[in-house]
Chains A and B, each alone.
Chain A
């Protein structure tokens, strides 16, 4: 039924969902026009967290921008670091004279931290979605696990949120002693915990019915609207940059890609909120596996930091003073999907243009389309299922 049919006299109420609303965390505003409980139109309003990061990028040196990438997406700062560093390395690689080769151990550590951060980011996503649907307990269980990942990162680089760990040419520090044992121990208990988590919320009938058939996005729509990452895979598109455009160590790891296939059963549709949610859970499982695989590949540390096998950081200071002139586009698979950097270099040590394309941005772009005609209660479910992280939208 169309909204027009449901509102015979067209009386609507304008609701300001956010920025001060429990589900929008003070940084997103959605203007909802509703007919009672049914949403007629929905207009997201962005910019509450705009920090002009791209403008800052044009003012500071290439390596100095890495800490700012943390702030592009602070829920998965490792992946955000990695995306930028890979893009700069790709820029350097367009000229054979300046190309850098990241040491193997550095590559392994990169994959390790990226996958651990993917786990912690997805934990926030699924936990927050459960909370938005009204189940408070799973959120706390998810956050408890995320804290353990943060503990590992804190030992690794001294930070719990914005790591500034991945650098151009490698990573900032080598793994600490016993890191692999600790990560393995974490992964072991984490897998048991996730089974309990899923029994608590994922298979809950109420939760499934709340998410099934809500805001379905077909595969063609998802592609046309520029959805990326789990949101795209939730719609059934079998595409993952780690596998299909593999970078770093991912080529050796045989990434398995989960796609949405109407997990909610007979009431669901492919690409509904529940599919997006379950795809994230399956990706968590896959990330656990990738972490274990990577730990197996990890070469022993070498004495020299820029040793091609056991080192963790290639020497790039010379190249970054005079990178090749030109431009490059490099995309990586962050937890919220494709994080693409478009860099323009005028051959100086300061970027000419740094452009960051993020997953939440295009996910927010489809809001006004999918939120038409759903219940007011579903608005928060949809926000949760697309895993919007607002700093990524506003930058």
Chain B
């Protein structure tokens, strides 16, 4: 058991795969940007390599980069693979860009079975198609739901089986714009030993 530093892991992967780029996020978190086509090979490599052994998926998620100020490409869904090695106890973040026009990424369910469920969720909420997935169905929304809710250009459907998605005759998105709600300030000014709202001391 020997944990590798993020730089060491990145070096190992980038030497093995020329088209993988080591990058950092705006706040300095390292990640590897993997082209979708190379993903299965990279994944298998990081799982099977004796010094890496990323045997677990901590999380597999994504976000729509459409409105994010600075990402490599703003017209893509970013699929994020947060990997962890129980053997070496180190972490790795892989990112794959799935362009909105052709939103597909190879499935990881054959490499980490945990991905079966995670990928279903990403498909349901972000609309990334995982090619080769054994049962890529929606998981949260009903099967006949239109659209993928976590996309930044998502628009609530006007109705679902006759149930109108209107509030006071208006569409959801036209009700108060976000940011109109005042910022809640945590109760820093509460006096010490303040009596909680209910109950009271015994």
Contacts and interface: CB of A to CB of B under 8 A. Distances in A.
Whether the complex brings A and B within 8 Å at their CB atoms is answered yes
A305 B190 contact: yes
Interface stretch (B5-13, B97-105, B177-185): B177-185
Contacts, number: 193
B186 A350 contact: no
A154 B198 contact: yes
Given A156-B196, A342-B80, A47 B28 contact: no
Scoring A178, A303, A344, A352 by chain B CB atoms within 10 A of each residue's CB, the highest score goes to A344
A64 B202 contact: no
Among B61, B67, B189, which residue has the most Cβ atoms of chain A within 10 A?
Answer: B61
A342 B59 contact: yes
A47 B142 contact: yes
Interface in B2-49: 25-29
B128 interface: no
Nearest to B183: A61
Contacts of B181: 60-61, 64
B150 A174 contact: no
B188 A305 contact: yes
Contact of A346 (B68, B141, B186): B68
Interface in B65-104: 67-70, 80, 82, 86, 89, 93
B193 to A, nearest CB: 6
Nearest to A329: B82
Contact of A340 (B59, B86, B197): B59
Interface stretch (A247-255, A258-266, A358-366): A358-366
A167 B186 CA distance: 7
Interface stretch (A123-131, A222-230, A380-388): A222-230
Contacts of B186: 63, 167-170, 172, 313, 315-317
Interface residues of B, number: 59
A111 to B, nearest CB: 19
A294 to B, nearest CB: 19
A339 to B, nearest CB: 11
Nearest to A60: B181
Contact of A155 (B28, B194, B201): B201
A324 B27 contact: yes
Interface in B113-170: 113-114, 116-118, 121, 125, 138-142, 149-150
Contacts of B25: 326-327
A365 B192 contact: no
Contact of A357 (B61, B70, B93, B150): B61
Contacts of B58: 329, 331, 338, 340, 357
30 contacts: A47-B142, A55-B149, A64-B184, A95-B27, A155-B200, A156-B199, A157-B197, A158-B199, A173-B187, A173-B194, A176-B193, A177-B193, A177-B201, A224-B113, A226-B57, A244-B89, A302-B192, A303-B192, A311-B192, A313-B190, A317-B186, A326-B28, A326-B29, A329-B58, A344-B63, A347-B69, A349-B183, A350-B179, A357-B61, A364-B117
Top-6 shortest CB links A-B:
A326-B27, A226-B114, A365-B117, A155-B199, A158-B198, A94-B27
